[in-house]
């Protein structure tokens, strides 16, 4: 496994990040434990989760599964850089009781203690804001974070789904307090969805944040969806909705045709493309099975030629340069 620095921290993390969203809802506890063991054996050390994973009435279940895995010992916890997230409320779906969601100091305090209990650990290495909270001032958020760091409950803080200006606003507020601020950003980024190149990734690079793309296969679009369709497996969910758009379908067909000529697997190329992009720490993969994890690991060893990268740009053109590039 290749390793890289997580932003401007001293943390060394693997170029593939283990996402755990499927643990509980789609992968049972035993298989989830087996996948985590296989990931650790392969050198993957950054495990990403969130307090709401498990969803619905089972919110928190994914953290619990990770916690029972840590409890098996074998230095599992010591070898893992543990990342979790907060924002959404943890009660039943429906109206939210005040101060039980978002990023108020009160909810941050409640959420971190609850996650620590489920995860069966005394600290979280990377505590991430799952979404932007437009109601809570950054000074309040950083004050709460300062306390948690002093207590030893968290080490670093990251963001998820933040715009470029949110990253700037957050880190300028932290700078005024003499704090480290955000060290990473999880953003929606893949060959199909490249808008993060406009401002999110440049902002992250300017402030020294590691970038951790989520949905690297575009909700399944980049995983050989049309090939599977020909084999009798219909697309579902977001993939099916996207493929109803003729332009999207044509691009995915061109993508798969291109990779067929090179004898390459679509999902592995999609991950390898992300690993080739500047500023990227590593994409989050959410394997439901050990085979899916093995496929993701092969992407780390895959080197894409300049000609292939150019052809991919032709199929999935990026958004172009950031607006600042057009200044006189």
Please identify every residue annotated as catalytic: 53
How far is 69 from 64, CA to CA, in rounded Å? Answer: 9
Match 């009660």 to its residue by tokens. 91
Q: Which phi and psi (to 5°) does residue 133 adopt? A: -110, 105
How far is 155 from 16, CA to CA, in rounded Å? Answer: 21
How far is 305 from 1, CA to CA, in rounded Å? Answer: 21
Radius of gyration of the chain (CA): 20
**Residues with Cβ within 8 Å of residue 159, at least 6 apart in sequence:** 128, 129, 132, 166, 167, 170, 182, 184, 185, 186, 209
How far is 281 from 4, CA to CA, in rounded Å? Answer: 7
Q: Which phi and psi (to 5°) does residue 266 adopt? A: -55, -45
The token duo for 78 is 């010591």
Does an H or E element contain 34, and which? helix 29-41
In order of 8, 220, 301, the CA distances from 225 in angstroms are 37, 6, 23
């Amino acid at each position: 496994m290749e390793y890289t620095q997580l932003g401007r921290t001293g943390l060394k993390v693997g170029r593939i990040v283990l996402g755990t969203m499927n643990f509980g809802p789609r992968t049972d506890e035993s298989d989830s434990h087996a996948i985590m063991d296989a990931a650790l054996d392969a050198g993957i050390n950054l495990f990403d989760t969130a307090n709401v994973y498990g969803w619905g009435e089972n919110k928190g279940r994914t953290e619990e599964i990770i916690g029972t895995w840590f409890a098996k010992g074998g230095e599992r916890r010591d070898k893992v850089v543990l990342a979790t997230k907060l924002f959404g409320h943890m009660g039943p779906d429906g109206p939210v009781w005040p101060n039980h969601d978002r990023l108020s100091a009160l909810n941050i305090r409640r959420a971190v203690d609850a996650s620590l209990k489920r995860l069966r650990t005394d600290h979280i290495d990377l505590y991430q804001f799952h979404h932007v909270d437009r109601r809570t001032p950054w000074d309040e958020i950083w004050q709460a974070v300062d306390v948690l760091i002093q207590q030893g409950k968290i080490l670093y803080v990251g963001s998820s789904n933040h715009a470029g200006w949110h990253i700037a606003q957050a880190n300028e507020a932290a700078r005024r307090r003499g704090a480290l601020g955000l060290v990473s950003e999880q953003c929606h980024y893949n060959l199909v969805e490249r808008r993060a190149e406009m401002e999110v990734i440049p902002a992250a690079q300017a402030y020294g944040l590691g970038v951790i793309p989520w949905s690297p296969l575009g909700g399944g679009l980049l995983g050989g969806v049309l090939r599977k369709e020909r084999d009798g497996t219909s697309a579902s969910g977001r993939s099916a909705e996207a493929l109803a758009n003729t332009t999207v379908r044509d691009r995915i067909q061109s993508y798969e045709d291109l990779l067929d000529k090179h004898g390459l697997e679509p999902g592995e190329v999609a991950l390898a493309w992300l690993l080739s992009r500047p500023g990227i720490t590593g994409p989050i993969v959410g394997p439901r099975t050990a085979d899916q994890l093995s496929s993701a690991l092969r992407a780390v060893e895959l080197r894409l030629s300049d000609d292939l990268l150019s052809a991919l740009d032709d199929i999935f053109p990026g958004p172009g340069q950031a607006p600042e590039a057009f200044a006189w």
